Copies of this chain bind each other. A is one copy, B any other.
């Protein structure tokens, strides 16, 4: 049993948390979920949130209950972990899956969900997916991934996309489910207008590919992509039919640094933090807390002090297990730190502590944690 489970429902129980603890402000999270659901509904887009952000069935179920038409995952292991989320009708694996054992596992997931969609970006990959689906007696929707200019995955350009779409449409065990283009390189561009231009450039190939396929009698059922950093702009382009945003539920220091609406901070609030505790206080300038590289992702900005210390107090990493908070605080004090980059930070933690103010109301397992394979 998790050491913090005994605190559930205890008023003010947050003070006694075993730390470091990944904590969710339930009220802010709930507003973020509702806000994105309303925004996509208003713009005529379907919402298929990316679950690589949270890897958590309790969160996925809340997104689906708020109107999401399905989920995205990045990897086979995540698909396995989240396949039985209540309310899940359609699951999209957004990266190509290669390798016989992984493909056999994907076919197993296809038998557990009403609809499984998988990104493909090569003829060889599509043929292997087809073979796995056929062998298992299932049908999988192939989504042709278009390179937005990152060169990470995807076919290069509209004509290659249309050609691969026609190819998968003829493969046994597969059906052509649509096109995907995710402008990951645009999401954190600081200038709102430039960010929109980059996203639009990426989606131009998708629009052309869709037109080619419509003209050839193979209209793409889905046009999927987009992220938290570009959703407002992409909604206005009229290309996508559904949005894959993930980080909007938590927000993080990285997304807080860019304006998500023209001239404004955007409609989402910071909901995910690590509560850490002062475990050494022998220095004049700072105290040491019990959270370091094993509690926060380190690929982006630093964690940001969000409570428990004077506003503007800085955090610095002090190795694997510890951090410094530049403030005068007593031993045992709790410091709240906004997570720097949410996806890989969640991936460090087995559970999410759900807080209503200072009361722990639930502990949600992160079922997909570490399921990168």
B105 touches A3 (CB 8 A): yes
Residue of B3, B75, B331, B341 touching A98 (CB-CB under 8 A): B331
A78, chain B: closest CB distance, angstroms: 10
A45, chain B: closest CB distance, angstroms: 23
B291 touches A372 (CB 8 A): yes
Query: In whole angstroms, what is the CA distance A268 to B104 when docked?
Result: 39
Contacting residues, chain B, for A372 (C-beta < 8 A) = 20, 290-291, 294-295, 321
Contacting residues, chain B, for A298 (C-beta < 8 A) = 297-299, 344
B331 touches A122 (CB 8 A): yes
23 residue pairs from A and B, CB less than 8 Å apart:
A3-B77, A3-B101, A16-B101, A17-B101, A18-B99, A19-B373, A74-B320, A96-B279, A98-B278, A122-B331, A147-B282, A151-B282, A151-B286, A152-B280, A153-B288, A155-B282, A156-B282, A294-B344, A294-B372, A297-B298, A299-B317, A320-B347, A348-B370
Contacting residues, chain B, for A332 (C-beta < 8 A) = 98-99
B18 touches A101 (CB 8 A): yes
Q: Is A343 an interface residue (CB 8 A)?
A: yes
Contacting residues, chain B, for A105 (C-beta < 8 A) = 3, 18
Contacting residues, chain B, for A297 (C-beta < 8 A) = 293, 298
Contacting residues, chain B, for A3 (C-beta < 8 A) = 77, 101, 105, 373
A279 touches B344 (CB 8 A): no
Given contacts A3-B105, A3-B373, contact A99 B277 (CB under 8 A): yes
- Please count how many residues in chain A sit with their CB below 8 Å of the partner chain's CB atoms: 72
Query: In whole angstroms, what is the CA distance A373 to B23 when docked?
Result: 13
Query: In whole angstroms, what is the CA distance A96 to B298 when docked?
Result: 24
Contacting residues, chain B, for A4 (C-beta < 8 A) = 373
A62, chain B: closest CB distance, angstroms: 22
Q: How would residues 132 to 164 of chain A score, 1 for a CB under 8 Å from any chain B CB and 0 otherwise? A: 000000000000000100111111100000000
A125 touches B331 (CB 8 A): yes
Most buried by B among A4, A17, A147, A293: A293
Query: In whole angstroms, what is the CA distance A290 to B317 when docked?
Result: 28
Chain B residue nearest in CB terms to A283: B151
B294 touches A16 (CB 8 A): no
Contacting residues, chain B, for A153 (C-beta < 8 A) = 279-280, 282, 288, 322
Contacting residues, chain B, for A95 (C-beta < 8 A) = 279, 290, 321-322
